[in-house]
Amino acid sequence: MGRIVGGLTILLVAAMAPVVLVAGAIGAMASAPASGSSSALVTQLQAAGYENGRLPDGQLTVVSERLGYQCKVAKVGGADLAWMALAAAAERDGVAIEGGWCYRTYEAQAAAWNSRRCYIPGNCDGDPYPPTARPGTSMHGWGLAVDIWGASGLLGCSSPELLWLQLFAPRFGWVHPEWARCGQPGAEPWHWEYVGTDLVSGEVGDEE
Ligand SMILES: [Zn+2]
């Protein structure tokens, strides 16, 4: 980890200097279909015979542990390493972020779906509230989504950690899907997904 952190220190310093460039990169990220790259990773997993919510432990990395909960992120595309690099970069900037809910098994997603749709009044008999994905379709089931906790708990739209993530997470291949952004009817400021970037995979992959 030490070497990865070292390499990404340089990356982050480079990222912080040209603020306009960073903003430009975020703009590009925002306009690019986030599902493009993540669906490529999903395709990769499916081609290898894996199913949503049924990834074996060998395809996952425990990136952190909180109150006994193990946050697992997929290894595909370097998602796990990118997450750890992102968390380390945040820590160096004095920003505390942690994976509060990460990989979800099919059964856990089904439970979340059921409780969420009943949690919203009038939803129990109708369509589920869109942000809670139907079991078998969530990016959590591929180990490519993390619900992020900050210093004050699950991130909200005014959490300072959210601003930091908006600025820097895309450089690590982690993006905020459009539907989850603040201002959307089903906003989930805490829900971030891995889409990968060549920049990140190069930086992380070159480390030993
Ligand atoms: Zn989520």
Q: How far apart are CA 77 and CA 16, in angstroms?
A: 25
Cβ within 8 Å of residue 97, ≥6 positions away: 86, 87, 90, 148, 149, 150, 161, 164, 165
- How close is the Cα of 97 to the center of ligand 1, in Å? 15
Q: Which tokens in the block code for residue 1?
A: 């980890």
- Higher per-residue confidence, 121 vs 154: 154
- How close is the Cα of 189 to the center of ligand 1, in Å? 9
Number of H helices, E strands in the chain: 7, 7
- How close is the Cα of 176 to the center of ligand 1, in Å? 10
- How close is the Cα of 150 to the center of ligand 1, in Å? 14
Residue 84, pLDDT above cutoff 70 = yes
Amino acid 108: pLDDT: 86
Amino acid 21: pLDDT: 37
Cβ-based burial of 31 (10 A; exposed 0-12, middle 13-18, buried ≥19): exposed
pLDDT digits (tens, 9 = 90+) for 35-74: 346 788 999 999 999 999 999 999 999 999 988 899 999 9
Give CA 181 to chain center in angstroms: 13
- How close is the Cα of 114 to the center of ligand 1, in Å? 15
Domain map (residue ranges) of the chain:
2-205
Q: Which tokens in the block code for residue 55?
A: 């990834």
- How close is the Cα of 192 to the center of ligand 1, in Å? 7
Amino acid 195: pLDDT: 94
pLDDT digits (tens, 9 = 90+) for 150-206: 999 999 999 999 999 999 999 999 999 999 999 998 899 999 999 997 544 444 333
Amino acid 2: pLDDT: 39
Residue 130, pLDDT above cutoff 50 = no
Amino acid 127: pLDDT: 47
Query: Helix (H, G, I), strand (E, B), or coil: what is residue 72?
Result: strand
- How close is the Cα of 190 to the center of ligand 1, in Å? 7
pTM of the predicted protein model: 0.73
Span 2-205 CATH architecture:
2-Layer Sandwich (3.30)
Burial state string for 71-87 with b = 16 or more CB within 10 A and e = fewer than 16: bbbbebbbbbbbbbbbb
